[in-house]
Structure 1
Amino acid sequence: MSIKNILTFLFFACCIGLQAQEVLTKEQAVSAALGNNYGVKIAKNAVTVAENNTNILNTGFLPTLTGNAGANYNIDNTEAEFSDGRPDAVLNGAESSNYNASLSLNYTIFDGLGRRYNYKRLKEQYQLSELQARETIETTILQMFSIYYNVAQLSDNLNALEETLNNTKDRLLRAEYQFEYGQNTKLEVLNAEVDINTDSINIINTKQDLKTAKRDLKLVLGETYSNDFTVETDVAFTLQFQKDSLFEKAKSRNVALLQTEKNILISELDINSGKSAYLPTIGLSGSYGWNKNDNNAVSLLAVSTNTGLSAGLNLSWNLFDGGTTLTRVKNAKVNLETQKLQKESILLSIERDFNNAWDNYQNKLEIYNIQEKNIVTAQNNFDRTQEKFKIGQVNSIEFRQAQVNLLNAELSRNQAKFAAKLSELEILQISGELLNVEL
């Protein structure tokens, strides 16, 4: 096969390989995580259950309607003595039957306002479940980006390692030519071969790490991508808020703090709901019934049928329940105090976590900017060393050192870039703005 045909084949093979790898954008990853991640799905189901619980059908405000029906069949042996002097009667195997049906309606007019407080509690519980789902979503997105940027970092690292390997191969080729023409010793060739093996091993390990990271990302995304894919490696730092304004948002929008505030409201409603047991319960009841009796021969009535409508008003007042209600109210008050203490603790934690995250972000962003400048210096050093190496002014050891310095600078820059971006996302999560900004 000619060189031209080989190059043509390799070109089309590369094109096919590139087409097989789909680019997974950050927007697509977020959408897939929100739609397919199992933790998010479970959280959404919990919200649906809480929403169903707020329906009027679950509040006790509606009446209850009960239907009853029954039938009885009897066979009796009867001995009857009559007071009017008639002879005694003995009846064996006397059959009788009874059939009945009824509808009963019950409605509680007043239960000490317990239903009202319970309904309010269910609505607050629904809003709490939404906050819990939001926390799950924020955690999932942060986890997804952590893995996504790990894939991106490994992809950038792989490109840098492959570029280093290509340079080392060029160096080996040059060393072999120079050895053939007697311009250097076999040692230069052996050193280049050792460096090629080192670079190749680094690439093999990085490829394996990249495969593992992609599998982790697929898991977070709910296995929506069955084929191989690449990710975006560019990063934009979008944090536009000042520290003070962002901290104020953290004290009002942090999802853990909002959940505690909801728990405080729920505890207050629990106290009122418990106190409702001190008051009486007033209810209405009504029923419509049908009853038919087929009596045995000794009965005065052979068949009797009754239908009737009844209604009533009842009052129930639990004057003393052994102290159960009193204990429940006391515990609810203690729980309220606990929730308030929890809120104060969370506020302190938010202040600490926010300041730590802010300083961490500033430091990592500064490190990234320094690493960007270091890349320029390392690249210039490598280019100049490479030119001197070609004309024999530097040896292979100096050239390799410049090559390694450039590679380390690129790897450090990649790590600093994605670490700074994750620090930015952490600040947005603490401040409650993670779902409100362009990621």
Structure 2
Amino acid sequence: MKIKIIISTVAALALSSCGIYTTYKPATEVPDDLYGREVAAADTSGNISNLNWRELFTDPQLQALIEQGLQSNTDLQSARLRVEEAEATLMSARLAYLPSFALAPQGTVSSFDGGKATQTYSIPVTASWELDIFGRIRNAKRQAKALLEQSHDYRQAVRTQLISGIANTYYTLLMLDEQLAISIQTEKSWKETVESTRALMDAGLANDAAVSQMEATYYSISTSILDLREQINQVENSLSLLLAETPHDIERGKLSGQSLPEHFAVGIPVQMLAGRPDVRSAEHALESAFYVTNQARSAFYPSIMLSGSAGWTNSAGSMIVNPGKFLASAIGSLTQPLFNRGANIAQLKIAKAQQEEARLAFQQSLLNAGSEVNDALMKYQTAKEKSDLYEKQLTALEKASESTSLLMTYGNTTYLEVLTARQSLLSARLTQVANRFAEIQGMISLYQALGGGRD
């Protein structure tokens, strides 16, 4: 008895050392300074990725658009179907542990040399069951489970991207609306300037060149208004596509009325493993490849099948008995691969190479995640710091524009100075709006980069 126990223990250790029973261990470490030295965080309190998207995007009209997109977006619906497919695959892998049953009734009618026909029949229920001693079925099930988790991560990645995409497109509309309003107001002001300059020319206080230059600037602003309206139409169409709808006008608020969190944290780098769906997906791909390698190793070992049948038959060899009698049989078989060892070795090499590819892809996904967090945070911080400077610039340019206009009226300056001052003021106003959008866009990118928008 002791000898059998020792043999069994040694066999188990040998098989374990071959890797067919090993279990994948999740990654618990990330590269140093994943976010960059200047943005490393010590805790996860207030982590922006933990916010519900309704807490981050408080505009009621934007919330309604996101809700609609989550219900109707075709990419998200396709991702949900991929989850269902993976669930069915996992169920099939689990059912492989159970024996398979089949009802196989047979009947024959035979006659020899014109004699009386004889009838035989059998109504057996057959069963077969593979003993998973060498882990083939077990590793297949674990692979299917990893693929299911990967499909969940893919769905989450699509959801996060959809929420961020709708928000980004919505705020783009608000930025263009604000720039359009500024341009229309400037166009009206320039029209009055053109009329004033023409009056000064009639009074001999300005020349024809001044009027022509003012008119050219006025037409340029009118052209930019048409461009802005075209851009607004294109962005509305893009948002309609995200909502799986035909092109239509989008109801929206104003950029000046938007508010976002002022204080937040990015969390410790290891949280990437739990927050970023693409990082989790890459690790589950690595886990799946790990179990594929285990399956390739198990192909070197024999497969053991138990099969049997039970039922009624009236055929007893050369005799026919009526009524039929109950008959049962059981068979055990062991199949050891002999001549396909080369093919198994090749499959194992392929599996190992694919596992290494998956490991490198997972490592790269971590680096990409850290880089995206750093880029988004820097973009947000830079736009935030610029906002005060743009306010001061606008104040100075408004004063300069007003002063040059008054000086031109009284003949102490040229129209070129007025033209330059007003063009600079218009450019600064448009840039200020674009910077506010960049600040919001940086927040959205950071939210997405940290895996926000989870269910």
Q: How does 1:12-411 map to 2 (within 5 A)?
A: 25-55=61-91, 59-70=95-106, 79=113, 91=114, 101-175=123-197, 192-223=214-245, 226-234=248-256, 235-238=258-261, 240-242=263-265, 245=267, 247-250=269-272, 253-277=275-299, 278-290=301-313, 306-318=324-336, 320=338, 322-323=340-341, 324-386=343-405, 396-411=415-430
List runs of 5+ in structure 1 lacking aligned partners.
1-22, 80-90, 294-298
Select between 114-123 and 187-196 the one with higher mean Cα deviation.
187-196
Distance in structure 2 (CA, Å) of the matches to 1:60 and 1:106: 11
1:239–1:424 CA contact under 8 A, matched in 2:
no
1:378–1:405 CA contact under 8 A, matched in 2:
yes
* TM-score (norm: length of structure 2): 0.72
Correspondence for 1:14: none
List runs of 5+ in structure 2 lacking aligned partners.
1-58
Residues 69 and 226 from structure 1, CA distance in 2 versus in 1: closer, same or farther, beyond 3 angstroms?
A: farther
1:151–1:231 CA contact under 8 A, matched in 2:
no
Correspondence for 2:31: none
Distance in structure 2 (CA, Å) of the matches to 1:228 and 1:132: 29
Residues 383 and 247 from structure 1, CA distance in 2 versus in 1: closer, same or farther, beyond 3 angstroms?
A: farther
Residues 343 and 392 from structure 1, CA distance in 2 versus in 1: closer, same or farther, beyond 3 angstroms?
A: same
Residues 146 and 181 from structure 1, CA distance in 2 versus in 1: closer, same or farther, beyond 3 angstroms?
A: same
Distance in structure 2 (CA, Å) of the matches to 1:412 and 1:163: 16
Kindly state the Cα deviation for residue 291 of structure 1 after the two structures are TM-superposed: 5.7
Distance in structure 2 (CA, Å) of the matches to 1:377 and 1:35: 48
Residues 200 and 417 from structure 1, CA distance in 2 versus in 1: closer, same or farther, beyond 3 angstroms?
A: same
Residues 59 and 46 from structure 1, CA distance in 2 versus in 1: closer, same or farther, beyond 3 angstroms?
A: same
Correspondence for 2:10: none
Select between 253-262 and 184-193 the one with higher mean Cα deviation.
184-193
Kindly state the Cα deviation for residue 204 of structure 1 after the two structures are TM-superposed: 1.3
Kindly state the Cα deviation for residue 214 of structure 1 after the two structures are TM-superposed: 1.1
Q: Could you tell me the percent identity over the aligned residues?
A: 17
Residues 36 and 419 from structure 1, CA distance in 2 versus in 1: closer, same or farther, beyond 3 angstroms?
A: same
Distance in structure 2 (CA, Å) of the matches to 1:307 and 1:373: 102
Q: Is 1:423 matched with 2:445?
A: no
AA aligned to 1:68 is A
3-state DSSP of counterpart to 1:229: coil
**Is the strand fraction higher in 1 or 2?**
1
For residues 116-162 of structure 1, the C-alpha deviation after alignment (integer angstroms, 9 at most, x for no partner) is 33222222211111112222233333433443333222211111110
AA aligned to 2:139 is Y
2:404–2:421 CA contact under 8 A, matched in 1:
yes
Distance in structure 1 (CA, Å) of the matches to 2:428 and 2:383: 15
Distance in structure 2 (CA, Å) of the matches to 1:104 and 1:232: 72
3-state DSSP of counterpart to 2:244: coil
Kindly state the Cα deviation for residue 102 of structure 1 after the two structures are TM-superposed: 3.8
Select between 321-330 and 179-188 the one with higher mean Cα deviation.
179-188
Count of matched residue pairs: 393
Distance in structure 2 (CA, Å) of the matches to 1:239 and 1:276: 56
Please provide the CA RMSD for this pair.
3.8
1:113–1:276 CA contact under 8 A, matched in 2:
yes
AA aligned to 1:202 is S
3-state DSSP of counterpart to 1:310: strand
AA aligned to 1:285 is G
For residues 81-101 of structure 1, the C-alpha deviation after alignment (integer angstroms, 9 at most, x for no partner) is xxxxxxxxxx49x76666654
Distance in structure 2 (CA, Å) of the matches to 1:384 and 1:69: 104
Distance in structure 1 (CA, Å) of the matches to 2:215 and 2:224: 14
For residues 224-247 of structure 1, the C-alpha deviation after alignment (integer angstroms, 9 at most, x for no partner) is 77445345424445363456x454
Distance in structure 2 (CA, Å) of the matches to 1:42 and 1:97: 56
2:240–2:246 CA contact under 8 A, matched in 1:
yes
Residues 175 and 347 from structure 1, CA distance in 2 versus in 1: closer, same or farther, beyond 3 angstroms?
A: closer
3-state DSSP of counterpart to 1:309: strand
AA aligned to 2:390 is Q
Kindly state the Cα deviation for residue 215 of structure 1 after the two structures are TM-superposed: 0.8
Residues 56 and 406 from structure 1, CA distance in 2 versus in 1: closer, same or farther, beyond 3 angstroms?
A: same
Select between 372-381 and 325-334 the one with higher mean Cα deviation.
325-334
1:286–1:310 CA contact under 8 A, matched in 2:
yes
2:93–2:144 CA contact under 8 A, matched in 1:
no
1:267–1:336 CA contact under 8 A, matched in 2:
yes
2:130–2:303 CA contact under 8 A, matched in 1:
no
Correspondence for 1:84: none
AA aligned to 1:223 is E
* TM-score (norm: length of structure 1): 0.74
Distance in structure 2 (CA, Å) of the matches to 1:204 and 1:267: 54
**Higher RCO (CA < 8 A, seq sep 6+):** 2
